[in-house]
Amino acid sequence: MEIRARINAALKQAMKDKETVRLSTLRLVCAAIKDQEIAGRGAGKEEAIGDPDVLAILGKMAKQRHESARAYEEGGRLDLAERERQEIEIIEEFLPRQLDSDEVAAAIAKVVEETGAGSIRDMGRVMAALKGRYSGQMDFGKVGPMVKDRLCAGNGQGG
């Protein structure tokens, strides 16, 4: 639970330093993690959620804030857009570095080769392997079509 420990330490430090934006953002993160644990308990999962789950929560929160900032900018509310960007920076402190497009393509190629994926039917296996290794490091909404293209091209079916 290394990430949760880092988040809790940052939360305590933000309290001491009286950093209101940081404190409120970290409280939202902690609440989202707690909600996920409660939902898991309702599904019969007793153990606490692990780092991959926390990374997924953080990634989702960052993505939501990117979308909100864009909407605020379009609506002319630059003050609210700036607040969203501040929250994004705080959340991203706890996320691993995002892979660039070349690194994503290389990771896909490596996993396709390792899993022996040869057709679109193997897409679930490839995506599961990518999520296991690169959780929080790539946007799987964008990776899915790339994997699909790779598997279709590798099978001679085209995109």
Q: What are the C-alpha distances in Å from 9 to residues 16, 22, 27, 48?
A: 11, 12, 12, 18
pLDDT, tens digit only, all 159 positions of the chain: 588 999 999 999 999 999 999 999 999 999 999 999 888 887 777 677 888 888 889 988 998 999 999 999 999 999 999 999 999 999 999 988 888 889 999 999 999 998 888 888 888 999 999 988 887 788 888 898 999 988 887 655 444
Closest residue by Cα to residue 107 from 64, 74, 140: 140
* Vertex 111: Cα angle to 120 and 1 (nearest 5): 120
CATH entry, 101-154, from 3.40.1050.10, 1.10.10.410, 1.20.1340.10, 3.40.50.920: 1.10.10.410
Q: Fold for 2-92, please state it.
A: Hypothetical Protein Yqey; Chain: A; domain1 (1.10.1510)
- Which residue ranges make up each domain of the chain? 2-92, 101-154
Does the predicted TM-score (pTM) go above 0.85? Answer: no
